[in-house]
A and B are shown apart, each in its own frame.
Chain A
């Protein structure tokens, strides 16, 4: 059983709660390992049709736990390769919707985790800090790639240079989060959205995620070709058949994610 995270699987929704509230859910090796295992399970299990990532207590995730770092002088490169990079890749490639339910501060690698989700629902108390420059480091765990794509190069550089916190409303304005809700309503709002996505055409969602991700860096002709292939695949899915039947019968579709 994991000790630093809480994993709940209700209906089609798996919720992973980072659970080191006394340190604002800072990531130590154990948490990284347990989170990676939970994400692998979420990616593997067809019964999981939406993943929610959130934090226990006041914070979402304060990033790398720096305690012990000064003495041990690890290779940051090796640490990132072994620890964070596989987690970020898994979040970006698992073929089902991933929602970050940002309940408080998301700093450093914690911000990267939120950025690696497909959607971000933020509490009014959420804030985002690319904290790395304060300690003379470079944003990591995908932040340099993901932040630029969400807010553009100019704003991304500002956030990375200054390490100033972005509050929830500003994050919404920047397109950094998808929606902001009152703090007390965060769980309900995330739950409603997650349940809705978990009842959706998961196979098509997964293909969309692939296509949109591919489209970020592909020329138009290649993206069109890629779309055509994915549409062929989606067209053979059971959910597509159900969607068309439901449309013709004027009833809501009942998708099974296949």
Chain B
């Protein structure tokens, strides 16, 4: 599979997707989003793959949507377009995805990072939703995921002023998993991915889904879902292996069954 706007590499159970339009700070045009979805769908079908790392080439993770593409759009055209279907598709990817935010994550870039399951941020990274400065507003989850991550007061400030926050501020707000020196961001994200890759894959996917349910449902619905997923794991070989290995004081060997 060849791509023009992203690069993909795979090593062991880890795939790295790099948004690769550094000249435009990896602006997320339709073609890039199409390729991203295509790559993720393919990875999801690969039984060997355990975790995906998403990063950006150059000094940005992604500095937003492609403004030029939206310049001539009408409300009707935006509504009829499939722009947001891509985001929905990524939301439903069951593999864990780690954003290695190497630099600017603005607008759609911030939303894409928040769509990932974890964020490892360079200390030089910035997160922001500057859409308001263009007479629009976040449209790919910015008002919802940011608010759930950092709370109303800070989300409102970011969305209404368009001002970005630094990686350290994002860390203090709980928006990111960890902050590391910029040169170490991809290494750290890959190390985290490798750690997850050693875990039982079925349990990882169900656990990811259960955590995401916390955003979509009432506590009661979420707890019910959690319990069902928990029961389900008792039907896996990895559960037997995990508990046996624990009792025998040895490392488990998970097979994804």
Contacts and interface: CB of A to CB of B under 8 A. Distances in A.
B191 to A, nearest CB: 11
A229 B188 CA distance: 9
A229 B184 CA distance: 6
A210 interface: yes
Interface in B177-207: 180-181, 183-184, 187-188
A233 interface: yes
Contacts of A45: none
A232 interface: yes
Interface of B: 180-181, 183-184, 187-188
13 contacts: A210-B181, A226-B181, A229-B180, A229-B181, A229-B183, A229-B184, A229-B188, A230-B181, A232-B184, A232-B187, A233-B181, A233-B183, A233-B184
Interface in A97-126: none
Contacts of B187: 232
Interface in A176-226: 210, 226
Nearest to A234: B183
B42 to A, nearest CB: 32
Contacts, number: 13
A121 B181 CA distance: 31
Nearest to A226: B181
Interface centre among A229, A230, A232 (most CB of B within 10 A): A229
Interface residues of A, number: 6
Nearest to B185: A229
Interface string A13-50: 00000000000000000000000000000000000000
A58 B190 CA distance: 56
A230 B181 CA distance: 7
A252 B142 CA distance: 55
A187 B34 CA distance: 61
A229 B187 CA distance: 10
A232 B188 CA distance: 11
A52 to B, nearest CB: 26
Interface string A232-253: 1100000000000000000000
Nearest to B180: A229
B186 to A, nearest CB: 12
Contacts of A230: 181
A166 B181 CA distance: 38
Contacts of B188: 229
A92 to B, nearest CB: 14
A257 to B, nearest CB: 16
The 8 closest A-B pairs by CB, nearest first: A229-B184, A233-B183, A229-B181, A229-B180, A230-B181, A232-B184, A233-B181, A233-B184
